[in-house]
Amino acid sequence: MLAHVRSSIVPALLRGPLALDQAGIPRYWAAVWAAFLPGDLAPSTVSKNLGYVEGFYAYADAVLGLGKLDDALASLDVEALSQALEGFFQSLRNRSNVSEARWQVPSRFTTDILTRVARSSSLHRGLVDLQGKLARIEVLYSQLRVGRRRKVQPIRSLPGEVVGALYELLDPVSGSNPFRKGATRWRVYTAFVLMLHHGLRRGELLSLAADAIKSGFDAKLQRERHWLTVKYNPYEDDSRYSRPSIKTANSLRQLPIAEPTVAVVDEYATSYRGRPAHSFLMNSQKNRPLSTEAITKVFARITTSLSKSVLKVLYDRTGKSSVTAHDLRHTCAVLRLNRFLSEGASMEEALQLLRVYFGWARSSNEPLRYARAVFEDRLATVWRNEFDERVEILRHLKGPK
């Protein structure tokens, strides 16, 4: 039940809305959680959120035993908490007219408390394994929706078979490449590489200046480093009818760029871009800045050039019947997250790295969608080795212009 404590003889932490068990004893972790809520929340909002948390406590009392939810949180019993969360979710689904907050708030409460307890120095042992379990809880349960008509937003990352087919199709020297002119082939391949390997949005790609990639000697690493600055072209105003945009202030960023990408962009810029009167990297056949509409048409052409078997894989795995430019960004996010994890980062660290790399706000939940795809292991490994080997050949070849 929920009570409102106002007495001055009660410690400040316990004043205000308070979740109580059947014996009138405060729910320990609910009180702790409430103490860390933002201070500018209205008392009515705090009370409503604690009411949702109390609903989860009441369910857990019946399933785990009276007071056992606090015990499970204190001992980091992820299995017991998963059992309680799953059952609580199903109980809400069986009721009518239940708001999403009745599920989302207890779900967030559980992960918040688990994270705080896990950071305790006395429970540091086995933290790496625990963080993986916490991440799984956060990923799986935050995606669930109570409303029957609402579905979990699908992951738009491309299956490995489709990514491999795109490499083969868009290779500038491939006999199956659907674009006839060498300049068009390299333009499309450069866009493909930048969007797939570095997660650029369409607007970000089309905003790049021709010299967006910079290089410098890294004294610490004793080698040349390359980086791409994602920002509006600083040299001129954009005169395109549909002006490409960079989504938010967080989207303005610098990305490390590998040698193979530099080789592709350099080959396009020096041999196939031409000498247009503008300073944008992506140039059209008519020597104008490439448009968003042109990118859309390119991917429509790519889709129609894929084999029926590849399109069937795409539909069976994603429910989609076409490939779009933004699908490459989704695919890059899954691959990058997988890579951060394989290099030893914890899930929490990997998700934050993903936010920085893709230009999301620090509080954005967007990375959780890709974490779910990583757990589902739907994407085959089609990444750096294949790309490196392919570019080593391409950088020495020049197709017909």
Number of domains observed in the structure of the chain: 2
Taking the model in full, what pTM does it have? Answer: 0.61
Does 176 score more than 60 pLDDT? yes
Q: Is residue 153 domain-resident?
A: no
Closest CA to 334 of 375, 370, 381: 370
Give 110-120 pLDDT, tens digit per residue: 888 887 887 76
Chain centroid, CA 99 distance in Å: 26
Looking up residue 217, the CATH number of its domain turns out to be 1.10.443.10
Supply 174's token pair.
């491939």
Same domain, 117 and 247: no
Same domain, 266 and 209: yes
Does 316 score more than 70 pLDDT? yes
Which pLDDT score is estimated for 42? 64
Q: Give the DSSP per-residue string, 307-350.
A: -HHHHHHHHHHHS-SS--HHHHHHHHHHHHHHHHHHTT--HHHH
Q: Is residue 154 domain-resident?
A: no
Which pLDDT score is estimated for 311? 95
Q: Give the DSSP per-residue string, 56-83.
A: HHHHHHHHT-TTHHHHHHHTT-HHHHHH
Q: Is residue 264 domain-resident?
A: yes
Does 287 score more than 60 pLDDT? yes
Which pLDDT score is estimated for 193? 94
Does 190 score more than 60 pLDDT? yes
Query: What's the order of all strands across the beta sheet hosting 253-256?
Result: 213-218, 223-230, 253-256
Computed over its alpha carbons, how large is the radius of gyration of the chain?
26
Same domain, 113 and 174: no
For residue 34, give its domain range: 2-142
Same domain, 166 and 301: yes
The percentage of residues in the chain with a pLDDT greater than 70, rounded to a whole number, is 76
Same domain, 275 and 379: yes
Which of 289 and 117 is assigned the larger pLDDT? 289
CB 265 within 8 A of CB 210: no
Which pLDDT score is estimated for 372? 66
Same domain, 95 and 183: no
Give 348-387 pLDDT, tens digit per residue: 888 888 888 888 877 777 777 776 666 654 444 444 455 5
The mean pLDDT value of the chain amounts to: 80
Q: Is residue 311 domain-resident?
A: yes
Which of 40 and 356 is assigned the larger pLDDT? 356
Same domain, 190 and 95: no
Q: Is residue 401 domain-resident?
A: no
